[in-house]
């Protein structure tokens, strides 16, 4: 779409009545102006031609770039605004945005980012430098060593360098734990069992949640091993006959038989019983007199047991 331009060039035809360029430049009027009533028509046409051509070209540029009509209405403010818009449009069209492959207009940025088209301001550049200096000052000097290895090159540390288990060693430990059959009582040295284990305290457990444990204890109840010793199943050996797996047994003291004669050893009499500290008659003479003695001084406990250390029996829950 063409726009109206009221500013026209004057005397631009080939046979226009204008003075030659040489005579125009030699005329004294270029410096002092034309005297009244003595200007020639061809000289005046030359002056009008030069000024009108410039005006026409500028007006056409404004009309083309601003998409406005350029009117000879004497509104200088409007014409100035149109000229500014025309220049901005021309710059936008002719000067591209800067990129990694071409020069152009660059927008400034005052924050850190990852743009390839924005340029940092002086302030942002200084902030980046200051941050780098702070980080550098906090770094460990490359003269330092890590386990005898200098920091000037890449450091390769093996598990043994810092005293940790290798992946293979950890897997072996895990496998060792997993290889313990579910249901085997394991002595544990703390009050709280580790994760995935249950205390052998006679409590019931969920057989659905722990199906492997249910195979070992079909009743769904753990043995109560608190304060108990574990004894090997007799299995027809005859040492502890009559027992079944997981059956409990109370404490007991082996039978004791003692014999004591009177002072004249006329005859002996036997007595059998536990060592509870009481006096029992052990002998009688022919006259009928009896002698008595104390079997024990009652300094022992209430059960017979070996030396022992208390552990917390636990089983793996699976």
Q: Which domains does the chain have, with CATH numbers?
A: 21-94 (no CATH), 107-138 (no CATH), 180-247+254-318 (3.90.1340.10)
Beta-strand pair 186-188/312-316: antiparallel
- Our measurement of the distance from residue 200's CA atom to the centroid of its chain's CA atoms, rounded to an integer in Å, reads 39
Q: For Cα atoms 205, 209, 211, give the angle at the middle one, nearest 5 degrees.
A: 90
User: What pLDDT, on the 0 to 100 scale, is given for residue 256?
Assistant: 62
User: What pLDDT, on the 0 to 100 scale, is given for residue 290?
Assistant: 46
pLDDT tens for the chain, residues 1 to 318: 577 888 888 888 888 888 888 888 888 887 888 888 778 888 888 888 888 888 888 888 888 888 888 888 888 898 888 888 888 888 777 777 777 777 777 778 888 888 877 888 888 888 888 888 887 777 766 666 766 767 667 777 776 777 778 778 877 776 676 788 999 999 999 999 999 999 999 999 999 999 999 999 999 999 999 999 999 999 999 999 989 999 998 888 776 655 554 454 444 444 444 444 444 444 444 444 444 444 445 556 677 788 999 999 999 999
């Amino acid at each position: 779409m063409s726009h109206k331009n009221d500013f026209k060039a004057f005397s631009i035809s080939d046979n226009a009545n204008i003075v030659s360029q040489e005579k125009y430049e030699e005329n004294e009027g270029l410096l002092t102006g034309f005297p009244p009533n003595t200007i020639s028509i061809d000289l005046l046409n030359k002056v009008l031609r030069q000024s009108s051509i410039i005006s026409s070209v500028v007006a056409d540029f404004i009309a083309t770039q601003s998409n406005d009509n350029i009117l000879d209405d004497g509104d200088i403010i409007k014409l100035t605004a149109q000229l500014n818009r025309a220049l901005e449009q021309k710059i936008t069209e002719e000067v591209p945005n800067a990129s990694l492959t071409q020069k152009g207009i660059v927008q400034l940025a005052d924050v850190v980012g990852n743009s390839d088209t924005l340029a940092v301001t002086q302030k942002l550049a200084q902030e980046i430098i200051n941050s780098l200096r702070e980080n550098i000052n906090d770094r460990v000097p490359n003269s330092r060593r890590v386990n005898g290895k200098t920091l000037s090159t890449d450091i390769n540390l093996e598990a043994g360098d810092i005293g940790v288990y290798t992946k293979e060693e950890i897997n072996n430990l895990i496998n060792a734990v997993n290889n313990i059959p579910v249901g085997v009582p394991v002595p544990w040295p703390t009050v709280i069992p580790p994760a995935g284990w249950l205390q052998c305290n006679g409590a019931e457990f969920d057989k659905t949640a722990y199906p492997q444990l249910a195979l070992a204890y079909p009743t769904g109840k753990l043995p109560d091993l608190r304060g108990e010793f574990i004894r090997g199943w007799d299995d027809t050996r005859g040492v502890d006959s009559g027992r079944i797996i997981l059956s409990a047994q109370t404490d007991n003291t082996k039978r004791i038989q003692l014999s004591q004669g009177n002072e004249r050893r006329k005859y002996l009499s036997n007595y059998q019983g536990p060592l509870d500290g009481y006096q029992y008659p052990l002998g009688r003479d022919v006259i009928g007199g009896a002698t008595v003695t104390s079997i024990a001084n009652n300094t022992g406990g209430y059960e017979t047991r070996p030396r022992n250390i208390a552990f917390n029996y636990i089983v793996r829950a699976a």
